Amino acid sequence: MPPPIRVFLSGRSSDEVDALRRRLAGDPNLQIVDRIEQAEVVMSRPAPSRPQEPLVEALTAREHDVLALVADGLPNREIARILGISEHTVKFHLASIFGKLGVSTRTEAVQRGLRLGVIEI
């Protein structure tokens, strides 16, 4: 029998997320993974073969906020709502974060942010 599929539910707790978690927990082919366990998996992966350079420029406080919410798995619209800014501004911050971290995706940004200690989950 193959190992269960690992499922990570992202976002803040809500009735919908809790109901989905209960439904998924009943499936023996699935294993629900929490954020801490997922972070341990990410942190335990070997570093890429290319050398990691330090940040050219530190993230601003708002960029830290955006990156932390990205790490929570939130979409731009929800990040904008939480921070009271426009989606365009969120995209602007993400572009700046990507440049400062030397990455091109949200996942890479979170992984690099974790490795550098810029964010914690």
User: Would you kindly state where each structural domain of the chain is located, as residue ranges?
Assistant: 5-44, 61-116
The structure's pTM equals 0.58
Q: What is the CATH number of domain 61-116?
A: 1.10.10.10
Output 19-28 pairs: Cβ under 8 A, ≥24 positions apart: 28/4
Query: Rounded to whole angstroms, how far apart are CA atoms 6 and 32?
Result: 6
Evaluate if residue 31 carries a pLDDT over 70: yes
- Express each pLDDT in 86-111 by its tens digit: 999 999 999 999 999 989 999 999 99
